[in-house]
Structure formats: structure tokens, C-alpha cells
Amino acid sequence: MDAKDILGIPKNALPSQDKKSKPPKETQRKPDGISREVYALTGGLAPLMPAIDVNHLKRKAQLENEKITWQWLPFTSSARKDDLQLYHWVRVVNGVPPTGDYSFAKYNKSVDVIKYTDEEYAKYLSDPAWTKEETDQLFDMCEQFDLRFIVIADRFPTSKTVEELKHRYYSVSRTILIARAPSPGDVAGHPLVKDPYNESQEKERKRALALVLSHTKHQERRDVEVLAQAKRITEARKTIKAPKAPELPIISDVGPLGIDSADNVSPPTNSQLPSSSVTNPVSETASVVASLRMMRVYLRSYALEQLVQAASSSAGLRTIKRVEQTLHDLGVNLKPKVPTRAVCAEHLELRKEILTLLNLQKQLQYKEAEGTSYRDASYTEPPGTPTKRSVRAADLDQTFTPDSLGFGGERSGKREQKRKGPGRLSEAPSSPAQSKRPRKFKASD
């Protein structure tokens, strides 16, 4: 009685099927010389590289008739300087134990730490930052700990950084090497001479690494934004450099409020950014209007969709998302519930204004960043390596936040919303918007 009886399946049905299906499986046979367990680990896939040397397998086959025993025997290792006698199990073929050195002795690598004489020290190696005792100690420890500088820094009696220790060690070794060589050309290829240790670069590298590791998600996002903006600016400059299109006069006319004034005050470096981001939508909008006309009949909501798409065609996905988020924050439906002509026009205007707002906020952030790097360069750090300043720019977030509270980009934007227009702001000019509105109506027609 077995499972097949219970299930009422004829006993012979399955085995015969098994036999049929087996032969094709045999084509993927386990290669000789690999144990079944190892082969199973590969998941039945043939290894990319031969795992075992073929000669080794052949030899093994030849020596099949030899008698192999394992014996507990003493051995010596060239890696040991004392004559300590240790035992291990050894494979003995036909009663003859293997001769030669202990097979693992070859892994006992040691560093050749250069030894300098007192005269050499006096002649080449005096350094105001290091005494002879300290240098001696450093070289002793380098020998003792095989150049594991982190361990050495930990044990070093006077406080020196890993970089200082490394710098001293490598510069001493290098000087001695050059001094002892009959001519400079003889040691020019030596790694110590060819690639001298650069302490400041090493410090900068570690600092940058630490900075990257300590970044928060928010900072990372900001960095990406800054990079994207930089890319956009360079692209904008390229398009500006290209022959100017005849549309340009129209742009300044249609350009959303605020941008113009922003241009006047901002340095010429980033003034191209907003105007160029407005360039495309104008022509895009015109083409959408033309294609809608060709349709003979369409739904107002469809027209709005197309116009919105055209207006944001030059903006990135991130910007579009942010516009939509802002719309949501302002309590406006992404798709108007009553899409009349006037509502759609207003909706488009609002989106345009939000784009302007986001651009301004970006500019503000940019300014903040500039300000931060500027202050950092002039106050917190002595005028020095330019690399430092560039890294500084990356953590502008940290350094500027205390001052920028309330002036920050999106964060403060949301805060402002809840406050509903503080009194100070009501002085801000609102007339340009109204004066421009009629003109823009036409543009969206």
C-alpha cells in the first residue's frame, strides 16, 4: 500500500514517465573530479572556470595504487625564528613523509623597514615636528606592527594623527632611499619615490568620505537638486549662446511677474536661468493652441491638460511634482471641477506663477549657498586650499540653517502659508501682476 494506491493511480504509469524524462537530464552530468556536494552548490550550472587543475586529476588517477596514510608528525616552519617543535597530521604516501618547508610558511610576509644610521638622521632627516626619539619609536613600531598605522597611532606615546605618522614614515624612507642610491635614476621607479605620500590630500579624502557618510537624506536630496540646477544653468547658457531666436522680445513680455525684477538684481551668472525656462512654453503653447483648433471639437478639460503639459514641458519631473504639491497645499484641485474658460485661464496663470515662485525659491537657495560658502571662506577657514571650499559648499545646509530660518526655500514656504500673509509682506508690490494679466490672457488663448 502506498500513496499511489490511495490516489488510485496505476502503479506503472509514473515510473515509466520518470524513465522517459530522465535521460535528457543526464546530459548535464556532473564533471569528473568534483564532489557531488560541491557540484550541488553550483546549482547544476557548469562552472565558468575549471575548478580543479586537470593535471592534478590525472596524477591522482595514476597514483591510485599508492598507499596513503595520515600521520601525526613534527614539523618546522621557516616563518618561526625560535625552534618550537609543533605537530600536525600529514598525508604520507607509501610511508615517505613530505619534505621541505611548512606549506603555510610562505604566507608569513614581513615588511622591510628601512634602518637609518645616526649620521644619516643628522644629515637628511631632521624635522622640527619630529624628534629623533619619536622617529626611532615610529620605525620600531612600524617594524613591530607591519605598517599597520592605525594600530601604531593607537600605541604611539605622543599624540600624532595617522596621516602625520604615515607622512613621517614615508618621507624618511624616501629620503634615505634617494640618499643611498648611487644616482637618482636608480630609484626613480621605486614605488616610494614614484608616488610620494601626500598628507593634505589624504586628509581631504578622509574628510570628504566622512562628510558623505554623515550626510542625511535631506542633505543628499539638496545636493542632487543643486547639481541638477547647475546642469540646467550650463544648458541654459549653451542655448543662450546659440543664435538668439526671434521670440526673445516676446518672452520678456510674457515672462511671469517677479522674474524680471529678479533678473535685475541677480548677478548675470544665473539670470539666464528663468528666462530660458520660459522660452519653450511660449512656443509650445502656441502649437497646442493650433492643434486644438484643427480638432474642430474638443473638451475644455482636454485643452487645459494639453496647455498645462506644454507649459511644463521644459520643467523636470521633480519640478512638476512640486508644482502639483504646491497647488495641493494652496487648496486648488489639480483638475478644476468647473473648467470654464475663465477658470482654465486662471488655473494656467496660477501654475505659471507657482513655477515662478519655485524658480525664485531656487534662486534664494542658490544665494544662500553662495553666502555660506563665502562666509566660510572668509571667516571659518584661513584662505587656503580651494578644494576645501568646494567641499564646504556641500554642507551648506548645516552651517546656514540657524540664520536662514524663515528665509529658507520650501520649508519656510509652507510655514508662510499657514501664517496667511504676514503684515510685512503686504508692502510687497502686487501691481505688476495685475498690470500684466490681460496680456497673458491672450498668450493662453
146: contact with another protein by CB under 8 A: no
Q: Which of 82, 337, 380, 382 binds another protein (CB under 8 A)?
A: 337
| H or E stretch at 152 | helix 149-155
- In the region spanning residues 165 to 194, those forming contacts with another protein, defined by CB under 8 A, are none
Q: What is the DSSP secondary structure assignment for residue 171, as one 8-state letter?
A: H
Q: Are the beta carbons of 344 and 302 closer than 8 angstroms?
A: no
87: contact with another protein by CB under 8 A: no
- In the region spanning residues 414 to 443, those forming contacts with another protein, defined by CB under 8 A, are 416-417, 420-421, 425, 428-430, 433
| H or E stretch at 72 | strand 68-75
Q: Residue 406 is placed in which grid cell?
A: 524663515
Residue 267 C-beta: closest distance to another protein, Å:
8
- Over 170-189, what HEC string results? HHHHHHHHHHHCCCHHHHCC
What character string, x for contact with another protein (CB under 8 A) and - otherwise, covers 223-262?
----------------------------------xx--xx
Q: Which of 64, 296, 386, 423 binds another protein (CB under 8 A)?
A: 296
* Segment interacting with another protein, rule: CB under 8 A, options 77-85, 109-117, 170-178, 332-340: 332-340
Report the distance separating Cα 106 and Cα 100, nearest Å: 12
| H or E stretch at 70 | strand 68-75
**Minimal CA–CA distance to 164: which of 110, 208, 202?**
202
* Segment interacting with another protein, rule: CB under 8 A, options 13-21, 89-97, 126-134, 350-358: 350-358
What character string, x for contact with another protein (CB under 8 A) and - otherwise, covers 46-85?
----------------------------------------
Report the distance separating Cα 121 and Cα 353, nearest Å: 73
- In the region spanning residues 274 to 293, those forming contacts with another protein, defined by CB under 8 A, are 292-293
CA of 426: how far to CAs of 11, 79, 197, 417, 439, in Å? 92, 84, 61, 14, 25
Q: For helices 317-329 and 341-375, what crossing angle results, to 10°?
A: 110
Binding site for another protein (CB under 8 A): 257-258, 261-262, 265-266, 292-293, 295-301, 303, 326-327, 330-332, 336-343, 346-347, 349-350, 353-354, 356-357, 360-361, 363-364, 367-368, 370-371, 374-375, 378, 407, 409, 413, 416-417, 420-421, 425, 428-430, 433
